[in-house]
Amino acid sequence: MPAVVKLEDIHRIYDSGEVKVHAVRGVTLELHKGEFMAVMGASGSGKSTLMNTLGCLDRPTSGRYLLDGVDIAGLDRNELADLRNEKLGFVFQGFNLLSRTTALENVELPMLYGRRRISHHDMQERAEHCLAIVGLADRADHFPSQLSGGQQQRVAIARALVNNPQVLLADEPTGNLDSKTAIEVMGVFQKLNDQGITIVMVTHELDIARYCRRNLIMRDGKVVSDVQVTDRLIADTELRRLHEAEAAAKLTA
């Protein structure tokens, strides 16, 4: 089976005049359909640069990046935008929803910029479907300010899903959430992954990484560890355990 993402000796050097920062120093990586990978590392390890490269927001200084068989080296700004639109979904740490825009309209956003024309009705239907996947069908007409952090992040996930991407990229998606909500969001990711969606997420929390199938650890721009998770946590189980613990605490109190 061909890899969805194929990185070959990727380097990224930031040249800000006097100092050259070598953020990524030779990463070679393959990601197959249905994988669920966490990228971990201390700040400055190059994980964010790697994510920006994977997300076609940034170009590598050298090396080859094939996304779904397309070499991004020859693409211009607009072609990269189209690639992001069609093949990638983004989830950010700060949710990055448009305020004063309903959940439904936020989810519709990537379709507005699609090169294929979709009727307004179909757009709405697809956005509603994606909101239903993340369990927010009843919050479609809510504004971000009326939603909790976890709900906002689920809207962001729905937005990332709406164009049926090849890869879903999440940059510290649980960074701004409390631990219980974080597990809920990981549950959403796991459910999507079980349906065959490829996910890459950046995190610096070890226990969050344990919900993924594969852990990639970076240091100084290089991959130092790339292992399959053996004792994978299942979000539903963990949530149930948490509920029981809460209930027990109340009983004893």
Does 61 engage in binding with other proteins (CB under 8 A)? no
- Cβ contact 35:201 at 8 Å: no
* Least Cβ distance, residue 250 to other proteins (angstroms): 40
- Tokens representing residue 4 in the block: 């969805």
Does 85 engage in binding with other proteins (CB under 8 A)? yes
* Least Cβ distance, residue 49 to other proteins (angstroms): 10
* Least Cβ distance, residue 106 to other proteins (angstroms): 9
Does 75 engage in binding with other proteins (CB under 8 A)? no
Does 173 engage in binding with other proteins (CB under 8 A)? no
Q: Would you list the DSSP string of the chain?
A: ---SEEEEEEEEEEE-SS-EEEEEEEEEEEE-TT-EEEEEE-TTSSHHHHHHHHTTSS--SEEEEEETTEEGGG--HHHHHHHHHHHEEEE-TT--PPTTS-HHHHHHHHHHT-SS---HHHHHHHHHHHHHHTT-GGGTT--GGGS-HHHHHHHHHHHHHTT--SEEEEESTTTTS-HHHHHHHHHHHHHHHHTT-EEEEE---HHHHTTSSEEEEEETTEEEEEEE-SS---HHHHHHHHHHHHHHHHHH-
Does 55 engage in binding with other proteins (CB under 8 A)? yes
Does 109 engage in binding with other proteins (CB under 8 A)? yes
Does 3 engage in binding with other proteins (CB under 8 A)? no
Q: Smaller CB distance to other proteins: residue 59 or 191? A: 59
Sketch the per residue contact string, 121 through 160, with other proteins: x for CB under 8 A, - otherwise: --------------------------------------x-
Does 82 engage in binding with other proteins (CB under 8 A)? yes
Number of residues interacting with other proteins: please give it, by CB under 8 A.
24
Does 238 engage in binding with other proteins (CB under 8 A)? no
Q: Smaller CB distance to other proteins: residue 78 or 230? A: 78
Residues at the site binding other proteins, with contacts judged by CB under 8 A: 52, 55, 57-58, 77-78, 81-82, 84-86, 90, 92, 96-98, 100-101, 109-110, 112-114, 159
